[in-house]
């Protein structure tokens, strides 16, 4: 790749650019679906037997119902295998993530709009949450913290983790260490679509959960989509994205480094800079070229930049914000002189990083907000993973006889016009003096 070109933003390309970035979101794949449907049906029917068969086949690990669950001894061994600074970093991260998510807790409430009327909303944690954690090369302890902490803060009493074993039947120590820090003790060695199926339907060994969250490969993602309804799921995540809005006060080296922090994820990742300064844009392009050459993942980052990267110059920050809203990026950095002033103009973004010293990885690991964020333009309607994802609400309605009597005519008329005679009757019967 030659240096990324710096282009004046052309508003007539708006729809094309939006669609290009949106289309990266994992598409529907009939072949994957057929495979996954079969796995789910088999696990649903045969339970542990099927789960262990698939684990032998796909993870090349020989397990039994007795060895599916990670033991206390394994947890202890993993903890000792991890060095002290790393343990401390996990604990610091967990503390800050917990503190932030505690602000998201919602209370049950009620009101008495009139004497004889109670209305309310009861907030109840889910009974059982299932967290999927990928294994192998993509073992991300930060993902353990980000999925488990909201469930814990929500008050979910049983949190179950699933993560695929290596061929020797073990789990990476960093994953188990993160689970320990997050307070998870029920961990099963299983991965892929078979793990999702086991969590959704339960087996003799694996409990049925109410919600499955966490990232995974295309089979995991498809399995989550297919069991949605039987259980709840989080969003299906697409490739990573960063959009940096930069003015002339931005540091080109910082902006380039932040763009590369997403471009290194995979070839489908998108890293875009929108700037009001042509000079800054050109300096970012040069920095990208310089820094990308130093990366172990240079090939991946280059391909990502070439396919889905961009440096666009706009006339004003307002125009830059409007474009950011069109793209609704997962991560948005405001590398401008007055980042707080720009926040009200931002309508759609998963996470907003303000100023020159708030790089995206700060949010990935430590600041506290969740790193599970909407991708592929879904920030138009979706939110970061929150404590609210692990509770649900029930409405409460109480009317006294007198209050029902006042409302009776309206209810009966509304029911009648919709053709629901028995609905009407449920009110009418209570108004009969000889019965009520």
Whole-Å CA distances, 190 to 60, 132, 193, 307: 11, 9, 9, 35
Is residue 251 part of an annotated ligand binding site?
no
Complex with its own copies: residue 49 or 298, whichever CB lies closer: 298
CB of 208 to its own copies, least distance (A): 10
Contact between residue 350 and residue 384 where contact means Cβ atoms under 8 Å apart: yes
What DSSP character marks residue 68?
A: S
Is residue 28 part of an annotated ligand binding site?
no
404 contributes a contact to its own copies by CB under 8 A: yes
Is residue 331 part of an annotated ligand binding site?
yes
> Interaction with its own copies in 321-350: which residues (CB under 8 A)?
339-340, 343, 346-350
CB of 290 to its own copies, least distance (A): 11
> Angle 313-319-320 (CA atoms, 0-180°, nearest 5)?
60
CB atoms within 10 A of CB 395: 8
Complex with its own copies: residue 279 or 362, whichever CB lies closer: 362
Complex with its own copies: residue 67 or 89, whichever CB lies closer: 89
CB of 257 to its own copies, least distance (A): 4
Containing 259, the helix (H) or strand (E) segment is helix 252-263
> Angle 418-423-426 (CA atoms, 0-180°, nearest 5)?
155
Q: Which stretch binds its own copies (CB under 8 A): 48-56, 147-155, 181-189, 353-361?
A: 353-361
204 contributes a contact to its own copies by CB under 8 A: no
Site string for its own copies, 44-83 (x = CB under 8 A): ----------------------------------------
Q: Is 330 a catalytic residue?
A: yes
Torsion angles phi and psi, residue 309, rounded to 5:
-95, 170
Whole-Å CA distances, 82 to 150, 174, 175: 24, 7, 10
Neighbour-count burial for 264-287, b at 16+ CB within 10 Å, e otherwise: bbebbbbbbbbbbbeebbbbbbbb
* Count of residues engaged in binding its own copies, rule: CB under 8 A: 125
429 contributes a contact to its own copies by CB under 8 A: yes
Site string for its own copies, 109-138 (x = CB under 8 A): x-x-x---xxx-xx-x-xx---------x-
Applying CB under 8 A, among 47, 141, 191, 216 the residue interacting with its own copies is 141
CB of 155 to its own copies, least distance (A): 11
360 contributes a contact to its own copies by CB under 8 A: yes
Kindly state the greatest CA–CA separation across the chain.
89
Please report which residue ranges of 345-400 form alpha helices under DSSP H. 360-365
Is residue 104 part of an annotated ligand binding site?
no
Applying CB under 8 A, among 43, 51, 93, 200 the residue interacting with its own copies is 93
Please report which residue ranges of 366-400 form alpha helices under DSSP H. none
Is residue 270 part of an annotated ligand binding site?
no
> Interaction with its own copies in 362-401: which residues (CB under 8 A)?
362-370, 373-374, 378-384, 386, 388, 392-401
* Cα–Cα dist 142/403, whole Å: 53
Q: Which stretch binds its own copies (CB under 8 A): 43-51, 56-64, 66-74, 417-425?
A: 417-425
* Cα–Cα dist 217/284, whole Å: 33
CB atoms within 10 A of CB 82: 19
29 contributes a contact to its own copies by CB under 8 A: no
* Cα–Cα dist 260/291, whole Å: 8
Applying CB under 8 A, among 192, 258, 281, 284 the residue interacting with its own copies is 258
Contact between residue 287 and residue 252 where contact means Cβ atoms under 8 Å apart: yes
- Chain centroid to Cα 176, Å, comes to 21
* Cα–Cα dist 367/288, whole Å: 26
Torsion angles phi and psi, residue 81, rounded to 5:
-80, -10
Residue ranges for the binding site?
132, 194, 217, 240, 262, 265, 331, 364, 418, 423
Residue numbering of the annotated binding site for NAD(+): 132, 194, 217
- Residue numbering of the annotated binding site for substrate: 240, 262, 265, 331, 364, 418, 423
What are the binding residues for Zn(2+)?
262, 265, 364, 423
Task: Enumerate the active-site residues.
Answer: 330-331
């Amino acid at each position: 790749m030659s240096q990324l070109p710096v282009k004046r933003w052309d508003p007539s390309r708006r729809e094309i650019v939006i669609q290009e970035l949106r289309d990266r979101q994992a598409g529907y794949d009939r072949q994957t679906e057929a495979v996954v449907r079969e796995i789910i049906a088999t696990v649903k029917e045969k339970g542990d037997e099927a789960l262990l068969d698939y684990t032998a086949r796909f993870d090349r690990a020989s397990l039994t119902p007795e060895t599916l669950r990670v033991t206390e001894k394994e947890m202890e061994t993993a903890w000792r295998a991890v060095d002290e600074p790393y343990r401390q970093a996990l604990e610091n991260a967990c503390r800050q993530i917990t503190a932030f998510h505690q602000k998201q807790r919602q209370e049950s409430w009620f009101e008495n709009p009139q004497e004889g009327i109670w209305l309310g909303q009861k907030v109840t944690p889910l009974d059982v949450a299932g967290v999927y954690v990928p294994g192998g090369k993509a073992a991300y302890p930060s993902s353990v913290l980000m999925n488990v902490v909201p469930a814990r803060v929500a008050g979910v009493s049983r949190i179950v983790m699933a993560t695929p074993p290596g061929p020797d039947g073990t789990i990476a120590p960093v994953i188990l260490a993160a689970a320990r820090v997050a307070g998870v003790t029920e961990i099963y060695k299983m991965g892929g679509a078979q793990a999702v199926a086991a969590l959704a339907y339960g087996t003799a060994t694996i409990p049925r959960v109410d919600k499955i969250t966490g990232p995974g490969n295309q089979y995991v993602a498809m399995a989550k989509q297919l069991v949605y309804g039987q259980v709840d799921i989080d969003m299906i995540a697409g490739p990573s994205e960063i959009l940096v809005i930069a003015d002339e006060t931005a540091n080109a080296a910082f902006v380039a480094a932040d763009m590369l922090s997403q471009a290194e994820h995979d070839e489908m990742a998108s890293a875009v800079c929108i700037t009001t300064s042509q000079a800054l844009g050109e300096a970012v392009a040069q920095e990208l070229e310089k820094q990308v050459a130093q990366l172990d993942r240079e090939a991946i980052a280059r391909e990502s930049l070439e396919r889905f990267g961009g440096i666009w110059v706009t006339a004003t920050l307002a125009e830059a914000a409007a474009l950011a809203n069109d793209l609704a990026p997962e991560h948005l950095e405001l590398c401008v002189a007055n980042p707080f002033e720009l926040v009200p103009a931002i309508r759609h973004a998963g996470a907003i990083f303000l100023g020159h010293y708030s790089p995206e990885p700060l949010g990935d690991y430590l600041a506290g907000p969740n790193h599970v964020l909407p991708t592929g333009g879904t920030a138009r309607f979706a939110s970061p993973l929150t404590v609210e994802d692990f509770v649900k609400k029930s409405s409460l309605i109480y009317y006294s006889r007198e209050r029902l009597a006042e409302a009776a005519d309206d209810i009966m008329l509304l029911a009648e016009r919709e053709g629901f005679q028995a609905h009407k009757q449920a009110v009418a019967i209570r108004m009969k003096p000889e019965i009520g």
